Amino acid sequence: MDTLERFQVVPAERVRLQIESTLVAWGMPREMAAASAGVMVETDLRGIDSHGLAMLPSYEDRRRTGRLAMAPAVRVVREAPVTALVDGGGGLGHYPSILAMDLAVAKARRMGVATVAVRNSNHYGAAGAYALRAAEAGLIGITGTGSRTRAVVPTRAREGMFATNPIAFAAPARRNRPFVLDMATSTVAVGKVTLCWLNDRPVPTGWVVDENGAPVTDAATAREYCSRRPDGGLTPLGGLPEMASHKGYGLAAMIEIMSTMLAGGIYGGTAATNPRARATPYDDLGHFFMAVDPAAFRPAGDFADDLDAMMDALRAAPPVDPAKPVLVPGDPEWASYDRRRSEGIPLPAKLVGQVRGIAERAGVAFLLD
């Protein structure tokens, strides 16, 4: 099967409408559905295919098994001048995360810096979407999230104890688009393994290991280790102990502390013995959002000018291969955004087939033809 047969290119607006109409049919209020669909399609436009439309099958499964509230009562439950705590009501994380980052930005404009945590939430998509939201408002944005999934195997362990626990950082420039770093603290995200399966590709050596620490390269088997088996899983950032995987392991623990423990969510590694985990059907995930106003530290515009100078210098650094210039974090995603906004989003045939079935079961029109 050639590339044209395995992919079809769909305009971003049709992808957005497909997601929104499905979420509404599942019972999500339209405002929340529109916010969630907006984050998901922007993620696909930026080339982070693992966290956009490709998440819809997982969301359907969470809804079917009662792990996802479709009409959650999202509310601020605790607030101070530079902090707040948001309860996500057991629903998808996109809407409460937008609320939380916007609240952090508003507080940071007044006080210089602010941190907002979210509890009782679910998967929130690509972390970079929220950090970028702060940068587009002229502030530095930082966010991270934990998960109940135990997919990442700590250094020297036989079984997973963390999710991919991503962290994202974004900062505003003046002439350049924002600097955006969005990374998992594992070698790759679970969604990248799913994409290998969707596209009939083997998983690269070092992404996934079995219970004995041996590499797993078959995509279907790797998916089992990442989501359905208690042993083996993804490697921490660094991959092997000899390549300093303990650093990725430590970063994953740090993000878990800042998101789950700070917010009062449920940590997957102790969920089996946590009374709250047994008492709720929801995942009760935690996220954190931080906003920093550069104007609280320096005259307006100086920060952005210096960041522009740094980004320009990095791109001008002599490359090892002239055909592969030095990039700044966020450059590949911005290039994808411009291309896909104009040409459409390429969707794997397997994913299109999955979404067709979801649309049929939800009783909504299939828009991806």
Range of the structural domain that residue 30 is part of: 1-65+337-369
Q: Are 159 and 43 in a shared domain? A: no
245 & 135 share domain: yes
Residues 159 and 118 in one domain: yes
Question: In sequence order, what are the residues at sequence separation of 6 or more whose Cβ sits closer than 8 angstroms to the Cβ of residue 201?
Answer: 195, 219
Q: Are residues 162 and 259 in the same domain?
A: yes
Give the per-residue pLDDT at 240: 79
7 has pLDDT over 80: yes
Same domain, 121 and 82: yes
79 & 145 share domain: yes
Domain-embedded: residue 81: yes
Asked whether the predicted pLDDT for residue 3 surpasses 60, the reply is no
Return the half-sphere exposure (C-beta side, CA atoms, 13 A cut-off) of residue 316: 6
The pLDDT of residue 228 is above 90: no
Same domain for 39 and 168?
Answer: no
Pairing between strand 140-145 and 285-292?
antiparallel
Domain of residue 196, CATH code: 3.30.60.50
**217 within domain boundaries:** yes
320 in a structural domain = no
Is 7 within a domain? yes
Phi, psi of 169 (to 5 degrees): -135, 130
Clarify whether residues 24 and 94 are in a common domain: no
DSSP 259: I
Residue 3, CA distances (Å) to 6, 220, 247 in order: 5, 21, 37
Minimum mean pLDDT range among 241-250, 253-262, 340-349 = 241-250
Q: What is the DSSP letter of 16?
A: H
Give yes or no for residue 227 having a pLDDT over 90. Answer: no
pTM of the model: 0.93
Over 50: is that where the pLDDT of 329 sits? Answer: yes
CATH number, domain with residue 42: 1.10.1530.10
H or E, element range at 339: helix 331-343
Inter-residue contact 201 to 219 (CB < 8 Å): yes
Concatenating the DSSP letter of every residue in 132-171 gives HHHHHTTSEEEEEE--S---BPPTT-SB--B----EEEEE
Per residue in 272-325, pLDDT (tens digit) is: 999 999 999 999 999 999 999 999 999 989 999 999 999 999 999 999 999 999
CA distance 74 to 143: 19
> pLDDT band at residue 149, thresholds of 50, 70 and 90?
confident
So what's the pLDDT on residue 213? 87
The domain boundary, picked from 199, 218, 234, lies at 234
Q: How many domains does the chain have?
A: 3
Last residue of a domain, one of 234, 249, 266: 234
Contact in structure between 145 and 154 (CB atoms under 8 Å): no
What value does the mean pLDDT take over residues 197-218? 91
Q: Which residues have C-beta within 8 Å of that of residue 81, sequence separation ≥ 6?
A: 107, 110, 111
- Candidates 361, 343, 363; CA nearest to 15 is 343
> In this structure, are 151 and 262 located in the same domain?
yes
Q: What is the pLDDT of residue 2?
A: 44
Residues 153 and 59 in one domain: no
Q: Are residues 52 and 173 in the same domain?
A: no
Write the CB contacts of 221 (distance below 8 Å, at least 6 apart in sequence): none
Q: How far apart are the C-alpha atoms of 151 and 233, rounded to whole Å?
A: 5
Same domain? For 170 and 197 the reply is no
pLDDT at 1 over 70: no
Buried b (16+ CB within 10 A) or exposed e, 233-262: bbbbbbbeeeeebeebbbbbbebbebbbeb
